[in-house]
């Protein structure tokens, strides 16, 4: 069971205050009857909810893309720092969470969902889901460093990092695609070749690219096509 106003807010009808207003105006029906009480409890899987005569279908799973800014952490809650969920305001589903993590100072593509199976598949080392980063470095990138990053480097783990795809954009800028997700991996890889990351932005996860129309801190629901791309595991 869920409050009517919260259900409508989660289904993107409006903010909590906005949906309370449309409920008060009699624009919402529950099982064919006008309901003006925002705190009415409904069964989202059974009850028929309509807004302005249009049925609002319940979505069990939700999928969002965020352009994460620096300065917030990839967590559901934190006592000290602002989290990516804080950026989503009050309309987010209770059970939504970020898929994996970007460091506090890292920006770019972050997926948020309540679909645990999808999150597991995207993060599973066995799936080898690619992640592409824009990396700005402190020192100029040498050919030797590029070759080492491509072939695998020692970051203090049992094995070298897996082979990566590296594209040199400028003297101190590369696009780095990796197929694993070890802790601080990109930063540790650059350190292993005697360089240092000064800026890091994730541009792509699998075949899903960051929407370049999203400003830092903004987010939007994924399209059905984008959801299918993620679920394809490519």
Query: Which segments of the chain belong to CATH 3.10.290.10?
Result: 2-55
122, burial (CB in 10 Å: exposed 0-12, middle 13-18, buried 19+): buried
Q: Please give the Cα distance from 112 to 97 (Å, whole number).
A: 5
* Domain 131-205 coded CATH 3.30.70.1560: yes
Percent of the chain residues past pLDDT 70, beyond the cut: 99
Q: What was the pLDDT predicted at 45?
A: 87
- Residues 214 and 65 sit within 8 Å (Cβ to Cβ): yes
Rounded to the nearest integer, the mean pLDDT of the chain is: 93
Q: What was the pLDDT predicted at 58?
A: 84
DSSP characters for 90-117?
GGS-TT-EESS---TT-EEEEEEES-HH
Q: What was the pLDDT predicted at 154?
A: 97
Q: What was the pLDDT predicted at 234?
A: 64
Q: Which of 12-21, 43-52, 95-104 has the lowest mean pLDDT?
A: 12-21
CATH code that applies to domain 63-125+208-231: 3.30.70.580
CB hemisphere CA count around 186 (13 angstroms): 27
pLDDT category at 9 given cuts 50, 70, 90 is: confident
Question: Could you give phi then psi for residue 98, rounded to 5 degrees?
Answer: -75, 140
Active site residues: 103
Q: What was the pLDDT predicted at 220?
A: 94
Q: Which fold has domain 2-55?
A: 3.10.290
Question: Could you give phi then psi for residue 149, rounded to 5 degrees?
Answer: -60, -40
Q: Which of 82-91, 147-156, 187-196 has the lowest mean pLDDT?
A: 82-91
Q: Summarize pLDDT for 61-106 with one digit per residue, the tens.
A: 899 999 999 999 999 999 999 999 999 987 677 789 999 999 999 9
The count of other CB atoms within 10 Å of the CB of residue 7 is 23
SS3 9: helix
Q: Summarize pLDDT for 214-234 with one digit per residue, the tens.
A: 999 999 999 999 999 998 876
Q: Summarize pLDDT for 108-139 with one digit per residue, the tens.
A: 999 999 999 999 999 988 888 999 999 999 99
């Amino acid at each position: 069971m869920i409050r009517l106003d919260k259900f409508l807010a989660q289904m993107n009808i409006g903010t909590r205050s906005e949906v309370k207003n449309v409920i008060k105006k009699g624009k919402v029906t529950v099982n064919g009857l006008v309901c003006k009480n925002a705190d009415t409890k409904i069964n989202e899987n059974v009850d028929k909810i309509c807004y302005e005569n249009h049925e609002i279908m319940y979505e069990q799973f939700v999928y969002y893309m965020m352009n994460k800014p620096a300065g917030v952490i990839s967590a559901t809650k934190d006592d000290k720092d602002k989290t990516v969920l804080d950026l989503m305001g009050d309309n987010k589903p209770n059970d939504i969470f970020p898929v994996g993590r970007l460091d506090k100072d890292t920006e770019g593509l972050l997926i948020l969902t309540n679909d645990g199976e999808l999150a597991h598949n995207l993060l599973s080392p066995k799936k080898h889901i690619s992640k592409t980063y824009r990396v700005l470095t402190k020192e100029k990138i040498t050919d030797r460093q590029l070759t080492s990053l491509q072939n695998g480097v020692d970051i203090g783990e049992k094995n070298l990092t897996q082979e990566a795809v590296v594209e040199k954009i400028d003297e101190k800028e590369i696009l780095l695609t990796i197929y694993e997700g070890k802790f601080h991996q990109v930063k540790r890889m650059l350190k292993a070749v005697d360089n240092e990351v000064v800026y890091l932005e994730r541009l792509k996860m699998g075949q899903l690219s960051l929407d370049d129309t999203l400003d830092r801190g903004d987010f939007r629901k994924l399209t059905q096509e984008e959801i299918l791309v993620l679920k394809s595991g490519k």
